[in-house]
Amino acid sequence: MPRDADTNAFIVCFLKSVDHEGKAYYWFGLQYQRRERRFEWLDGTALGEFSSWAPFQRHKRYEQSCVKYGRRHPIFYDRTWFEASCLRHYRFICQVTTENTKTAAKIPTADPLM
């Protein structure tokens, strides 16, 4: 959840390293809540002060609106935020805490050679 400029810059740098052509879109944990009439992070907190909306982004308020990293032009608006229908199929970015990694390390995995 890129709640600040530093986290957002880190994610953008990461996306550029894995998607060299920059053609893919990536969901992250922000969505529009109709009842509250605001964007919220997946943990239920409000968007807050920081955002990285693409210039001229028009919020369409789909039936289910989520937010993705994307681009409209190879140079301009690269890896900025765009609202889109949550029903679209895009890649996604997940946030992992050290607590999650400790739990994940305890989960047994199947041996691919068996």
Indicate the average pLDDT of the chain: 79
Could you read off the pLDDT of 43-97 as tens digits, one per residue?
999 999 999 988 776 667 667 889 998 876 555 556 789 888 999 999 888 877 7
Q: Is residue 86 part of a domain?
A: yes
Do the domain assignments include residue 112?
Answer: no
Identify whether 107 is part of a domain.
no
pLDDT for residue 112 is more than 60: no
Rounded to two decimals, the pTM is 0.73
Report pLDDT for 34: 82
9-19 average pLDDT score: 86
Q: What is the CATH number of the domain that holds 92?
A: 3.10.100.10
Structure tokens at 46: 């409000």
User: Could you tell me the two tokens for 110?
Assistant: 């199947």
Torsion of CA 104, 109, 112, 114, to 10 degrees: 170
Would you say residue 4 has pLDDT above 90?
A: yes
Answer whether residue 83 is part of any domain. yes
What percent of the chain lies above the pLDDT cut of 70? Answer: 69
Residue 113 lies in a domain: no
C-beta pairs of 86-93 under 8 Å, 24+ apart in sequence: 86/31, 86/62, 87/62, 87/63, 88/25, 90/24, 90/25, 90/26, 90/27, 91/24, 91/25, 91/26, 91/27, 92/26, 92/27, 92/28, 93/11, 93/15, 93/26, 93/27, 93/28, 93/69
The model's confidence at residue 113, banded by pLDDT at 50, 70 and 90, is very low
At residue 72, the 3 state secondary structure works out as coil
- What is d(CA 71, CA 96) in angstroms, rounded to the nearest whole number? 25
Q: Cα(54)–Cα(58) distance, rounded to whole angstroms?
A: 9
